[in-house]
Amino acid sequence: MATEDFSSRYADLDAWPTGEAVEALWDGQMAAVAAVRPALPALAAAVDAAAEVLRIDGGDGRRPGRLVYVGAGTSGRVAVQDGAELPPTYDWPEDRLVFLMAGGERALLSSVEGAEDDAEDGRARIAGAEIGPSDVVIGVAASGTTRFTVAAVEEATRRGAVTVGIACNPRVPLLDAARHPVLADTGPEAIAGSTRMKAGTAQKVILNLLSTAVMIRLGRVYRGLMVDMRPANDKLRRRAAAMVGRVAGCSADAAAEALAAGDGDVKRACLIARGVTPDGATALLARHDGILRAAMAEVDEGRI
């Protein structure tokens, strides 16, 4: 596996002047980002498939679609970081997030030896979470061979879930196990086997792109703004007011009043600032599945 290979270029890395060593490591980080580019078509396909099932919100009687992150070690920690940021940023419900980390929560802060090799636990954790066709399971493993992650993704695929496998080596079991394989071929690390470096960076980039694009497809972004953000502190309340002012074209005072009338909901506040009643804003967004662009179009066209 290339991620485990020794690179002769860095054989004397420890003897280089600090400036040269840091520059070489930086070069590796840039190469990791570039390695993601060939994966963009596969990533786009994964986004569309994920958004399709995640639109299931339980309103039709079916179980809401969930985002499920699976991983071990560095890959698992990077995956958990990505998912944990979705509720405050895009108001993604916590009960629609599942984290399956090899070794459990303790492994987020310290190594749990042998956990990543436990394929049976990977399958059992998928079964225990009752993963099914309405779920999106994202398995992340730099090597692409981590038994826990591969087994979990295999089981999730068998159960009909949308599965995404993110790996940094070609022709590995994780890519075979997932319906949507995403490869960032990052090659050897400057420090052999230290996949927290190039591979970790590429994985973080892919997860950033994947989750953000899914939220865009689900209507949680409008005109480049995070309109489903939770304004939970002073900074975010100022940001929310600025978004309402920008979208509705109103003054700061009017934006603040609209936010208060909309109970802090940016989407509702944008409609309220355009003259829609609070109840009317709620109904309008519900009619358009929460898509602010469609709701604003109806207001702009004078249909409400």
| CA dist., res. 206 & res. 183, Å (int) | 9
Closest CA to 222 of 276, 252, 265, 280: 265
Residues near 281 by Cβ (< 8 Å), separated by ≥ 6? 262, 267, 268, 271, 272, 295
Active site residues: 85, 116
pLDDT (tens digit per residue) in 160-182: 999 999 999 999 999 999 999 99
Question: Can you name the residues that pair with 153 across neighbouring β-strands?
Answer: none
Extract the tokens encoding 190: 């400057």
Confidence of residue 85 (pLDDT cuts 50, 70, 90): very high
Please give the model's pTM, rounded to 2 decimal places: 0.93
Percent of the chain surpassing pLDDT 70: 98
pLDDT (tens digit per residue) in 267-299: 999 999 999 999 999 999 999 999 999 999 999
For residue 174, how many other CB atoms are within 10 A of its CB? 30
- Domains parsed from the chain with CATH numbers: 2-217 (3.40.50.10490), 234-300 (1.10.8.1080)
pLDDT value, residue 86:
97
Cα→Cα distances 94→113, 153, 276, Å: 29, 21, 30
Question: Do 161 and 132 meet the contact criterion of CB atoms below 8 Å apart?
Answer: yes
